[in-house]
Amino acid sequence: MLEFLKKIDRRVIYLCIALSVIIPMLVGVEFPVPTSPMTDQVYEAFNNLEPGSTVIISADYDAGSQAEIQPMTLAILKYCFENNIKVIVLGLWPLGANLVENALYNDKVKISPDRAKALIAEGKKVFVISKDTASCEMTIEERDGKFVYVDEREEGKDGEECLAFSPEDSYYVKGVINAIDREVKPGIDYLNTGYKAGQVVVITQMLEDVVGALETDISGEPIKDMEIVKGLKTINDIDLIFSLSSGTPGAKEWVVYANGKKNVPVACGVTAVSATEFLPYLNSGQLSGMLAGLAGAAEFETATGYDQGKATEGMSPQSFAHLVIILFIVVGNIIFLLEKKKS
C-alpha cells in the first residue's frame, strides 16, 4: 500500500485536480458565500459613499492576473454605477485600463432570468447559454409574448426557435453597462483615462493636481473640460481610491504615497499571492479594506447582492480543489512519517 501510494504517477494527481475543478462546475454545486471582515470593510467603504461621490479605480494589473481581479472589476463597476457613484479609471500598468474598458463594454456579465426579462423589456440585448444546443451568443427576443432565441449554429436545427427561460439555461449581457438600470454617460458618470506612464510619479503628481496628472482620456482627448472633473483639484476631493493590484506599482504605492501623504482612504483588490503582505496595512488602518483573490471577489459579490457573479460561481470548484490538495499533503506526510518510522 505504502509503495503503491509512493509511486503514484504525477498524471494521476493532475487528473484528480482537474476533476475536482470540473465536476463541481458541471454538476452545478452551489455554496452560499459568507463574507470575511476584510471584505466587509471594503463594502462599508463603498456603502458609506454618498451618491455623487467620486471614486478612483486604479487598474494596476494585466491579463495574467485577470482570473482573480477581473471579477472584482465587474462587481465594483456594477455597484458604483447602480449607486450613482462616479468612477475615474486610470492604469499604472499598460494594459490595465483596457481590461476595465472590457469589463464595462465587452465582458460577459451573468444575470438572473428575472433581470434578463427586465432588460429585454428595456430593449437591451440579452444572450443565452443553453444546455441543449451547445453553442453560445444567441440573443433572446420577445415574439408574440414569448421569449425565444434562434439556434443557427447546430446542424439540423437551422433557424429553429427555442423557448427561452428554461431553468437550465443561463443568461448574460455584454459589459456592465448593459447589466444595470441606469444609463452611464462617459465624461459624466465614468471616465477612463487609460494607461498613465510614470509609475509612482503619476500618483505623486495626482496628489496636488488630479486633472493635470491625468491630462487625457483613453482615446487621447483632453479631460479638463469634462463634467466629471468639475471642482476636482487635489486628491483630497476624491472620496475613495481603489487599486486593483497585482504587483508594483499598485496598492502598496497608493498606500505609501496617497494615503501616507494626504490621508485619502485607499482600499484594494489584490491577487491572493500578495494578500498577506498587506495585512499590516489593514491592521493599522492605512488600508480601508482589501479583497483578496477570487474568494475576496466572491465575498464582495455576496455583500452587494450579486449572486450570478463569476467569482461566486468559482467558489465550489475552489472549495473542492482545496480539499483535494489538503488531502494530498496529508497523505504525503503520512507516507513520510511511516517511512521515517521504518528506517
Shortest spacing between CB 248 and another protein, in angstroms: 12
Contacts 24+ apart (CB under 8 A), 129-137: 129/169, 129/170, 129/171, 129/172, 130/162, 130/166, 130/168, 130/169, 131/166, 131/168, 131/169, 132/162, 133/157, 133/162
Candidate residues 50, 123, 155, 197; the one interacting with another protein per rule CB under 8 A: 197
CA distance 1 to 8: 11
Min CB(86)–another protein separation in Å: 22
Please, which residue, 62 or 141, has the CB nearer to another protein?
A: 62
Binding of another protein at residue 88 (CB under 8 A)?
Answer: no
**Cα 125–chain centre separation:** 22
Residue 160 binds to another protein (criterion: CB under 8 A): no
Q: Give the phi and the psi of residue 243 in degrees, each rounded to 5.
A: -100, 120
Site residues for another protein, 50-69, by CB under 8 A, read 62-64, 66-68
**Residues contacting residue 292 through CB under 8 Å, at least 6 positions apart:** 38, 270, 272, 275
DSSP 135: -
Only one of the segments 19-27, 51-59, 73-81, 140-148 lies at the binding site for another protein (rule: CB under 8 A); that segment is 19-27
Question: How far, in Å, CA of 244 to CA of 60, rounded?
Answer: 6
Give the interface segment with another protein, choosing from 114-122, 139-147, 183-191, 317-325 (CB under 8 A).
317-325
163 contributes a contact to another protein by CB under 8 A:
no
Residue in 43, 257, 300, 306 binding another protein, rule: CB under 8 A: 257
Q: Is 308 among the residues that bind another protein (CB under 8 A)?
A: no
Residues of span 274-293 touching another protein by CB under 8 A: 274-277, 279-280, 282-286, 292-293
Task: Considering the complex, state which of residue 243 and residue 259 has its C-beta at the smaller distance from another protein.
Answer: 259
Say how far apart CA 320 and CA 315 lie, in whole Å. 9
Give the distance, in angstroms, between the CA of residue 128 and the centroid of all CA atoms in the same chain.
21
Tell the smallest beta-carbon distance from residue 230 to another protein (Å): 20
Contact set for another protein, span 105-134 (CB under 8 A)? 106, 129-131, 133-134
Is residue 23 a contact residue for another protein (CB under 8 A)? no
